[in-house]
Amino acid sequence: MTDSTRLVYGYDAICGWCFGFVPAMRKFAETHPDVAIDVVPGGLFSGDRACHYTQLVDHIVHAFPRITSITGQKPCDGFWDLIKQPGGAVANSTVPNMAVAMMAEKAPERSLEYAHRLQEIHFLEAADFNVAETYETLQNRHGFPELDLSAIIGATDDSPEVAKAYARSRRLQISSYPTVLLVDDKDTVLSVLPSTYDPAGFEQAYFAALSVPAHEPNPI
Averaged pLDDT for residues 24-35: 97
Look at residue 7 in the predicted model and tell me its pLDDT.
98
Averaged pLDDT for residues 130-138: 98
Express each pLDDT in 136-175 by its tens digit. Answer: 999 999 999 999 999 999 999 999 999 999 999 999 999 9
User: Quick check: 44 and 14 in contact, CB under 8 A?
Assistant: yes
Look at residue 219 in the predicted model and tell me its pLDDT.
40
pLDDT band at 89 (very low <50, low <70, confident <90, very high): very high
User: Which of 8-12, 85-89, 93-97, 147-151 bottoms out in mean pLDDT, i.e. has the lowest?
Assistant: 85-89
Cα–Cα distance between 167 and 160 in angstroms, integer? 10
Averaged pLDDT for residues 37-60: 95
User: Quick check: 104 and 164 in contact, CB under 8 A?
Assistant: no
Cα–Cα distance between 62 and 80 in angstroms, integer? 12
Express each pLDDT in 171-205 by its tens digit. Answer: 999 999 999 999 999 999 999 999 899 999 999 99
Residue ranges and CATH numbers for the domains of the chain are: 6-210 (3.40.30.10)
The answer to whether the peptide bond before residue 178 is cis (omega within 30 degrees of 0) is yes
pTM of the model: 0.93
Cα–Cα distance between 48 and 22 in angstroms, integer? 27
Estimate the crossing angle of helix 16-31 against helix 199-210, to 10 degrees: 70
